[in-house]
Amino acid sequence: MSRVFISGSSTGLGLMAARLLVEQGHRVVLHGRDQFRAEAARRALPDAEAVVFGDLSSIAQTRDVAEQVNKLGRFDAVIHNAGVGYREPRRIATEDGLPHVFAINTLAPFILTALIGRPGRLVYLSSGMHHGTTANIDDLIWKKRRWQGAEAYAESKLHDVLLAFAVARLWPGVLSNALEPGWVPTRMGGPDAPDDMDQAHCTQAWLAVSDDPGARVTGAYFYHMRPRTPNPSVHDVDLQNQILEACRKLSGVALPA
């Protein structure tokens, strides 16, 4: 039996993965953006061990989420599921002055990775959209460019794979991997998304707990429990280090050695 924390698990794929893990006999801690969503998550999955809450668009609240998780004890796995989509028509600034998409999709998983007690496994949700973009380290917060919501989302999902691969390299005792769930008809994906909803949540649960040799790897990228080739830039160690350093400067949080 494993103990798993899942960010962004009050609805959607996060809740589906949590329900699957609970059905398999694992202990799961859920997360909602606020107390209302946390209570809704508890009602949706009453067998969850606990629920934490905090808005991951806020650096301060993300730090508080990490503190809440740490107070619950050590976890075997953390699934970085929380994310927002590509439909934001303008650059929405957070309380920290950062683009909403970047704050939740890139900076929050970095902060949670750095501050939550090191688990045995880390799982990061990316997207197929990461294949066709670049990291744009020199303009992560979209001050130099005209806003494009889809491109900002794609960049953030590339950042997630860079983070997963950087952690795999720097923390050899941790299995750190990334995946794309497919374009599925969640609230984020929209009703016309064509991929298989029944498969979308399985890979993150499998990577978090399975003893299958295929899941007990690190620094790999998956789609529907099969390895898939990611954007080649994620193997660039200099680029990995650049995203870590940029996130450190923006958040004031450093990834432990």
Residue 123 lies in a domain: yes
Residue 257 lies in a domain: no
Give the type of residue at 224.
H
Number of domains forming the structure of the chain: 1
**pLDDT value, residue 157:** 98
Picking from 121, 5, 164, the residue whose alpha carbon sits closest to that of residue 71 is 5
**pLDDT value, residue 197:** 52
Residuewise pLDDT in 10s, the chain (257 residues): 999 999 999 999 999 999 999 999 999 999 999 999 999 999 999 999 999 999 999 999 999 999 999 999 999 999 999 999 988 999 999 999 999 999 999 999 999 999 999 999 999 999 999 999 999 999 999 999 999 999 999 999 999 999 999 999 999 999 999 999 976 444 554 444 444 556 789 999 999 999 999 999 999 999 999 999 999 999 999 999 999 999 999 999 999 98
Domain with residue 140: its CATH number is 3.40.50.720
Please count the CA atoms within 13 angstroms of the CA of 19 that sit on its side-chain side.
14
Q: Where are the beta strands (DSSP E) in the chain?
A: 3-6, 27-32, 50-53, 77-80, 121-125, 175-179, 221-223, 226-227
Residue 232 lies in a domain: yes
Residues annotated as catalytic (active site), given as ranges: 153, 157
Residue 42 lies in a domain: yes
Residue 153 lies in a domain: yes
Residue 179 lies in a domain: yes
Q: φ and ψ at 13, to 5 degrees?
A: -65, -35
**pLDDT value, residue 190:** 46
3-state class of 79 per DSSP?
Answer: strand
Residue 229 lies in a domain: yes
Residue 256 lies in a domain: no
Per-residue DSSP letters for 96-142? TSSBHHHIIIIIHHHHHHHHSPP-SEEEEE--GGGGG----GGGTT-
3-state class of 48 per DSSP?
Answer: coil
Structural domain boundaries enclosing 146: 3-251
